[in-house]
Structure 1
Amino acid sequence: MNKICFLIPYYNHPAKISKLCKILKQYNLPIILVDDGSSDNFNFETLDIEVLKHDKNKGKGAALKTGFNYAIKNDYTHAFQIDADMQHDLSKIDEFLEIYKNNKDIVICGYGKYDQAAPKARVYGRKITNFWAFINTFGGHFKDLMIGMRIYPLNEEVFKKTKSNRMEFDIEVLINYFKFDYKFAWVEVMINYESISHFKMLRDNILISKMHARCFFSLPKFLFKRLKNALV
């Protein structure tokens, strides 16, 4: 029996979270929010949803891992990640869920539709990340690795292999799903860059670079696994 929930990693987005939850409740699916050590003193009881809390800020990736582990322990088979900053076009939720109904074994990901307001550094940064993911998977094709609007088939082994705990988690987890032979579906999503983002240009780009380096140096192991499977 398949069971899906919304999963929101949250860190200091008090102006958006009530509106976001109101929209998500229209879909009659459970909502799990992980508060990653916020300092905004928001009263989550007003949301009437499941709330998990970190006592200090550990990073977006750590918040998602907490949510995934909780979902698995509570018999969910899938999690629909929705970022709390509301940067992504929520009208696309229906399209995600329609794909999910007929494809339970694939990862369903948003990819960015960029307008003139999109910061050039973010657009080119995504292209560079896609290039390195192509290298680090021996040819894996990813339309966008950085949009936090996705439906994951929950797999504990994938999450254990994903070492990242901050913004770079979004990238590494998809690389690892690919390495575990999952297929992907892609939904075009408009991005609103006027929303507040906690992406730290210097820190997070350094972490992303380290993550790509880690993936690169693990290529021999990945290649050996591929060759071994091909010979079976």
Structure 2
Amino acid sequence: MDKICFLVPYYNHPQKIKILVDRLKSYQIHIILIDDGSSDKDVLEALGIDILTHSQNEGKGRALKTGFEYALKNGFTHAFQIDADMQHDLNKIDKFLEIYKNDKKSIICGYGKYDKTAPKSRIYGRKITNFWGYINTLGGHFEDFMIGMRIYPINNKVILKTKSNRMEFDIEILINYYKMGYKFKWIEVDINYDSISHFKMLRDNFLISKMHARCFFSLPKFIYKKIKNELV
């Protein structure tokens, strides 16, 4: 039987987290927040939800891995990732859950609505990442790798295969789910560009490039498995 939880990676968004949690509580879905070494413990303790804690900041990807591990141990089959910065339109939660009710096997992902207010760095960054995602999956179609609003059927093999621990995690885990044969459903999501992001331009772009290179050099193994499966 399927069982879904909200998974919220968190690092220093004290002004928004209560608003977000109150909104999520209205869905009567279990909430798991992963505190990735934040400095506002008092704010979190007052939320009245499950909180997992890292003693120091280990990165968004590492926080999500901790959340996935806890969810699996507690019988959850699906995780609805919601980023704590509230950049993404929470009104779309209902749409995600509507699709989930009728499709428990697909990855349900948000993709950004990029209009004239979107920073050029976001637009170009998405195009570059989508290009390398296409290469590293031998033609997989992805609307957006960077939006942290998505529902996963939790697959521990995929999680263990995903080596990334920071912002590049959101990209690599989708590549790995695709390679494992999962299908994707996409929902357009409005983005609040005024929201504070912890994305570090130099460090995280370097880690994203490193992750894409690692995926690229693992392609021969993926090609071999794909040919082998087609011959069976």
For the superposition of Structure 1 and Structure 2, which TM-score range results when normalised by the shorter chain? over 0.9
Distance 1:112 1:205 in 2: 19
Matched residue of 1:118: which SS?
A: coil
Aligned pairs for 1:21-36 within 5 A: 21-36=21-36
Matched residue of 2:41: which SS?
A: coil
The corresponding residue for 1:68 is 68
Distance 1:204 1:123 in 2: 16
Matched residue of 2:14: which SS?
A: coil
Q: CA deviation at 1:39?
A: 1.8
Distance 2:197 2:117 in 1: 15
**Structure 1 unaligned runs (5+)?**
none
Matched residue of 1:43: which SS?
A: helix
The corresponding residue for 1:186 is 186
Q: CA deviation at 1:122?
A: 1.3
Distance 1:65 1:130 in 2: 23
Cα distance 1:194–1:42, how it changes in 2: closer, same or farther (>3 A)? farther
- 25-34 or 41-50: bigger deviation: 41-50
Q: How many corresponding residue pairs?
A: 232
How well do the aligned residues superpose, as a CA RMSD in angstroms? 0.7
The corresponding residue for 2:136 is 136
The corresponding residue for 1:81 is 81
Encode CA deviations 1:130-186: one digit per residue, 9 max, x unaligned: 000000000000000000000000000000000000000000000000000000000
Distance 2:151 2:174 in 1: 11
Distance 1:42 1:63 in 2: 19
Q: CA deviation at 1:45?
A: 2.3
The corresponding residue for 1:54 is 54
The corresponding residue for 2:209 is 209
The corresponding residue for 1:104 is 104
> So what's the TM-score if we normalise by structure 2?
0.99
- CA contact under 8 A between 1:109 and 1:186: conserved in structure 2? yes
- CA contact under 8 A between 1:61 and 1:168: conserved in structure 2? yes
User: Which residue identity is paired with 2:151?
Assistant: I
Matched residue of 2:12: which SS?
A: coil
- CA contact under 8 A between 2:14 and 2:43: conserved in structure 1? no
Distance 1:55 1:117 in 2: 37
Distance 2:67 2:124 in 1: 30
Encode CA deviations 1:96-125: one digit per residue, 9 max, x unaligned: 000000000000000000122211011110
User: Which residue identity is paired with 2:141?
Assistant: H
Distance 2:39 2:123 in 1: 30
The corresponding residue for 2:168 is 168
Matched residue of 1:32: which SS?
A: strand
Matched residue of 2:53: which SS?
A: strand
Distance 1:42 1:85 in 2: 18
Identity %: 72
Distance 1:155 1:113 in 2: 28
Distance 2:65 2:218 in 1: 22
Q: CA deviation at 1:41?
A: 3.5
- CA contact under 8 A between 1:14 and 1:42: conserved in structure 2? no
Distance 1:230 1:115 in 2: 41
Distance 1:29 1:121 in 2: 35
- CA contact under 8 A between 1:137 and 1:178: conserved in structure 2? yes
User: Which residue identity is paired with 1:204?
Assistant: D
